[in-house]
Structure 1
Amino acid sequence: MAKRHLFALNAPVNWPIKRKEQKWVIRPSPGPHPLKRCLPLNLLFTGILDYARTSREVRKILHDGEIFVDGRSVKNQKFPVGVMDHIGIKSKNENFRLFINSKNKYILKPISKDESKLKLCKIINKKTLKKGTTQLNLYDGKNVIVDKDSYKTGDTVVIDLENNKIVSHLKLEKGVYVYLMGGKYIGNVGRVEKITERKNLQPAKISINSDNKNIETLKEYAFVINQDTLKV
């Protein structure tokens, strides 16, 4: 049986909660993101947007079905939301994209209605299917089947959320901009200077230039982004 709550002290460190003032915190339901890389929808409204103070108020907001995550109406306050997810509030005509900043805190960046229709998704692995097609498995749990396999693990695809189709492909290569989703330099954005592939027992690494500062970190933390997402 799934647990409904977490001890506040055991919750991920970047959740917007008052650990010394509350014993329990709501636990995200199983979904597209693992516990360490998400937070429940409830905390967006109580801890970041400040549109509600209690879970009861959050449930009231969600009741009318005007809250959307990646274009789908969500009424479950435990629904897990993660980095790059789109949150839409129809009643306020507001759209946001979720990030983690360089202080390891969740933040919401306002985006336009047109931007909210397209989502950047990182390819975490892929699988060859029958008849030569390929299934791309994406960071947020989505899967896309393509006929021509010109994609590599670590690349980013831009998905049209209305039809789940790929509209563009951003390769992980020298010269592109990436957003770091983990490690010591989480939340930083920079231009790729060098990629060192896995060798023996050493993991693949990436070097980027961020605000004229050279950063080296694991390649797996890099998320290729486009011009619209440069300012995190």
Structure 2
Amino acid sequence: MLRNRLKYALTYREVVAIVMQRLISIDGKVRTDKCYPAGFMDVISIAKTNENFRLLYDNKGRFTLHNISAEEAKYKLCKVRSAQFGDKGVPHITTFDGRTIRYPDPLIKANDTVKINLETGKVVEFIKFDIGNIVMVTGGRNRGRIGVIQHREKHKGSFDIIHVTDSTGQQFATRMGNVFTVGQGTKPWITLPRGKGIKLSIVEEAKKRTQALKAAA
């Protein structure tokens, strides 16, 4: 990431030198492991440059480092994997980034999204996985696309299918496991990367490139 995306290092040895100075934080914790696996929605902070990034998908389904403000870097969104009772009847939820949170709001269920304060590790708010909420697709051929849930097809013994409409009116469908709720209604709780999750066709991309070349000439 430091070498290939941010271009802050030219070689592997330079990457090691940077992380060993304890300048890189992921989700509010300093990381010195040069191979630490950052994932979707993780917040990466660089102390020396006062920069903050959120790891998201672009509209082509590739990982992108989206620049965010210091205020937005204080929280992250996590998708709930399960909500259950543990030993001695203690309720807890587990998230897809490996967190276990005890005594959550009893209304939080699997596939909902929780907003976590990175300083305290506590749930601040949550979004129900429901029709009408804005989502980002995190898997499959539509990965990186953003839209609003229109309909949910339930299939017993198989995968539930979610139908989504993006801001241009295009409709697509994907498995429920590929969908991550990022906002209440049509308002996202995070800033979105360039492209706003709208997938262009090959012809539309060609036209866009031609217009950019004409504008630059």
Report the TM-score range of the alignment, normalised by the length of the smaller protein. 0.7 to 0.9
| Structure having greater relative contact order (Cα 8 Å, sep ≥ 6) | 2
Q: Distance in 2 between matches of 1:123 and 1:173?
A: 14
1:178 corresponding residue in structure 2: 135
Shift, 1:186, TM fit: 0.1
Q: Which residue of 1 aligns with 2:93?
A: 136
Alignment of 1:152 with 2:109, yes or no, is yes
Moved more, 64-73 or 221-230: 221-230
CA-based RMSD: 1.4
Structure 1 runs of 4+ aligned residues shifted over 6 Å read none
C-alpha distance in 2 between matches for 1:129 and 1:76: 32
Three-state SS of the structure 2 residue aligned to 1:91 is coil
Give the Cα–Cα distance (whole angstroms) in 2 for the partners of residues 186 and 122 of structure 1. Answer: 16
Contact 1:173 1:192 in 2 (8 A): yes
Contact 1:134 1:148 in 2 (8 A): no
Aligned partner of 2:165 in structure 1 is 209
Shift of 1:101: 1.6
| CA offsets 1:47-101 (integer angstroms, 9 cap, x no match) | 1111112110101111211110000000111100011000000100000000122
Aligned to 1:73: 30
**Structure number with bigger Rg:** 2
Question: Residues 62, 182 of structure 1: CA spacing in aligned structure 2 closer, same or farther, 3 A cutoff?
Answer: same
Letter in 2 for 1:80: P
Q: In the TM superposition, what is the alpha-carbon distance from 1:120 to its structure 2 partner?
A: 0.2
Distance 1:164 1:122 in 2: 14
Identity of aligned residues (%): 30
Structure 1's unaligned 5+ residue stretches are: 1-43
TM-score by length of 2: 0.82
TM-score normalised to structure 1 length: 0.77
The alpha-carbon deviation at position 133 of structure 1 amounts to 3.0
In structure 2, the residue corresponding to 1:194 is in which secondary structure?
strand
